[in-house]
Amino acid sequence: MMKPSVLLTRRWPNVVEQKLAEDYDVVLNRDDRPLSEADFREAIAKYDAVLPTVTDKISAEAMDVPKARTKILANYGVGFSHIDVSAAAKHGIAITNTPDVLSECTADLAMTLMLMVARRAGEGEREVRAGGWSGWRPTHLIGTKVSGKTLGIIGFGRIGQQMARRAHHGFGMEIVVYNRSPVDPSILAQFNARQISSLDDLLPLCDFVSLHCPGGAENRNMINAARLDLMKPDAFLINTARGEVVNEHALAQALMFDTIGGAALDVFDAEPRINPMLAQCDNLVMLPHMGSATKEAREAMGFRVLDNLNDFFKGSAPRDRVA
C-alpha cells in the first residue's frame, strides 16, 4: 500500500522528521520559510495531510480548492486560532493539536519572563553588553520582589496550572484566577488559589498578571487600554499565550507613561514583525516566541502529531482532535 503523503510546513527536530519519514511519504520544507496562502492552496490540493505550526495562517481561501486532497491538519502546537475552523469543517478536514507536552516548558518561560521584568534583567543585560555599566551602586536598577506577591492567572488550563504550581510552591505567591468556566475546587486547593468571577475584578488585585488563555477573535484585545488602567501602577503583565490577546498600542502607551510597572512578552500580534512602539519601551522584556523551545518539548510535540496521524490514518479518532 502507498504511504499517505504528508507536508511539513517548517523544519522539525531531526528525530521526529526521521520517524515521520519511516511511516509516511514526507515532503520537508527544507528552506524552512513561511508558506504563503498560494502555497497552502497547492498543498491542500496535493497532500493527504498538512502539518502546520502555530504561525501558519490557514484561511478559508487557502482551503477553498476544488477536490481538496488533505483530510487532516495535524497542528504542531496547542493553539489553532491560525486555522479557519469553520472552513476546515466545510471541507471535511480534521484538525488536531499537541496539548500537555509543552505545558511545563511554557510555564517555565512565563516564570523566566516574570523574574526578568521584575528584576529589570533585560535592562541590565543590555547595559552590560553596551559597555555602559559603571559598577555596583545602591540605587542602580532597583527592581521588584516576586516572592509573596499576588499573581493573577488568566486562563487556568494546563499551562496556567503549571504556572500556579511554580509561583505558589516555589515563590510563595498568592494565586488568583480568571477562567471562562468554573475551576474544580480541588484544583484550586492545590495552589490555595481563588477564582475571581470577572477579569475586571481580578486585575486590580494583582502585582503580576500572566496570560494563558486561547487566542482567536473572541479574545482579541482582551487586554486593552481600559483593562490596563485597572492594573496597579506598579503591576506587571506577562504574555506567553497569543499576541492578539493584548492591544499592543495600548500596552506601549501604558509602558511609556508608566501607568503599569512593566511587561514581558513572548508572543506578538503580527509576529515576527514587532510594533515599533514596543521597541522603545525599556520596561519591556521581549523574547522571540520561545515558550516551548526546549529539546524535550519540541520533540514531544512532534511525536504527539505522529500519534494523531497514526490514529487518523488507521481510521481511529485522534485523541487530540479539536475540530
List domains and CATH numbers for the chain. Answer: 5-101+295-313 (3.40.50.720), 103-286 (3.40.50.720)
Tens of pLDDT, residues 195-247: 999 999 999 999 999 999 999 899 999 999 999 999 999 999 999 999 999 99
pLDDT, position 63: 95
Share of the chain above pLDDT 70, in %: 100
Tens of pLDDT, residues 251-294: 999 999 999 999 999 999 999 999 999 999 999 999 999 999 99
pLDDT, position 119: 98
Chain Cα centroid distance, residue 59: 20
What rounded mean pLDDT belongs to the chain?
97
Query: Over the range 70-83, which residues count as b (16 or more CB within 10 Å of their CB) and which as e?
Result: bbbbbbbbbbbbbb
> Cell 475586571 maps to which residue?
200
Calpha distance 308→310 (Å, rounded):
5
Q: Flag the least confident range among 45-54, 59-68, 293-302.
A: 59-68
Query: Is residue 1 scored above 80 in pLDDT?
Result: no
pLDDT, position 108: 98
- DSSP assignment of 216-257 equals SGGGTTSB-HHHHHHS-TT-EEEE-S-GGGB-HHHHHHHHHT
C-alpha torsion sign, points 219, 225, 228, 230: negative
Cell of 99: 496539548
Calpha distance 111→162 (Å, rounded):
10
Share of the chain above pLDDT 90, in %: 97
Residue 249 falls in the annotated catalytic set: no
Tens of pLDDT, residues 118-165: 999 999 999 999 999 999 999 999 999 999 999 999 999 999 999 999
Residue 158 falls in the annotated catalytic set: no
Cell of 282: 525599556
pLDDT, position 67: 85
Q: Which of 242, 248, 298, 304 is catalytic?
A: 242
Question: How does strand 174-178 pair with strand 25-27?
Answer: unpaired
pLDDT, position 202: 98
**Structure letter (DSSP) for residue 83:** B
Which secondary-structure segment (H or E) carries 127? helix 121-129
Q: Which of 17, 42, 127, 271 is catalytic?
A: 271
Q: Which of 10, 91, 289, 321 is catalytic?
A: 289
Residue 165 falls in the annotated catalytic set: no
